[in-house]
Amino acid sequence: MGAILVFFFLLATGLFADTDVTSREQFGRLKPGGLPNEIHYNADRAALELTADDKNCPVSAHGFFELKINSQGEVTKAKDLNTSQSANLKALTVGWVRNLLMQIHFHPLSLGGKITSVHTYASVVCQ
């Protein structure tokens, strides 16, 4: 009986697990018009570039975010992973960037004929 429960638990966790992909692979699935106007994806650097301003995105500010994308291609989570900020450098406004990241739309990922959710990371640079 215990072996059956373990089997069903493992099966269920596999059904709901996110698929890990590189940011380059994920951003290759952008829908046309899938980025907010403030963001440009630089495939050579595998980074999201935002236009610098004095309020939310100072020149040379950068961040690193964990993204969760659901099976419809919508960003459902954008978690800031920066663990330290220099007192001498201006930092980007995390809430503002998170709001922009949540507006990105991708084509869904299909693996083995099944649509799956995705887990990836994104570098953000203000310039």
CA nearest neighbour of 68 among 58, 60, 78, 54: 78
Q: What is the mean pLDDT of residues 94-109?
A: 97
Q: Is the pLDDT of residue 90 over 80?
A: no
Residue 118 lies in a domain: yes
Given a contact cutoff of 8 angstroms between Cβ atoms, the answer to whether 42 and 122 are in contact is no
Q: Is the pLDDT of residue 43 over 70?
A: yes
What pLDDT, on the 0 to 100 scale, is given for residue 10?
A: 42
Residue 59 lies in a domain: yes
Q: Where are the alpha helices (DSSP H) in 1-127?
A: 2-16, 23-27, 94-101
The whole-angstrom separation of Cα 108 and Cα 83 is 31
Q: Is the pLDDT of residue 95 over 80?
A: yes
What six digits make up the tokens of 127?
């310039």
Residues of the domain holding 84: 19-126
Domain count, the chain: 1
What pLDDT, on the 0 to 100 scale, is given for residue 83?
A: 74
Label residue 9 exposed, middle or buried (CB < 10 Å: 0-12, 13-18, 19+).
Answer: exposed
What pLDDT, on the 0 to 100 scale, is given for residue 91?
A: 84
Dihedral through CA 82, CA 42, CA 29, CA 71, nearest 10? 10
Residue 14 lies in a domain: no
Residue 11 lies in a domain: no
Taking the alpha carbons at both ends of the chain, their separation in whole angstroms is 59
Percentage of the chain lying above the pLDDT 70 cut:
81
Q: Is the pLDDT of residue 5 over 90?
A: no
Average pLDDT, whole number, for the chain?
Answer: 87
Residue 10 lies in a domain: no
Q: Is the pLDDT of residue 116 over 70?
A: yes
Residue 12 lies in a domain: no
Residue 1 lies in a domain: no
Helix (H) or strand (E) holding 50: strand 47-50
Q: Is the pLDDT of residue 93 over 80?
A: yes
Q: What is the mean pLDDT of residues 30-36?
A: 97
The whole-angstrom separation of Cα 104 and Cα 13 is 27
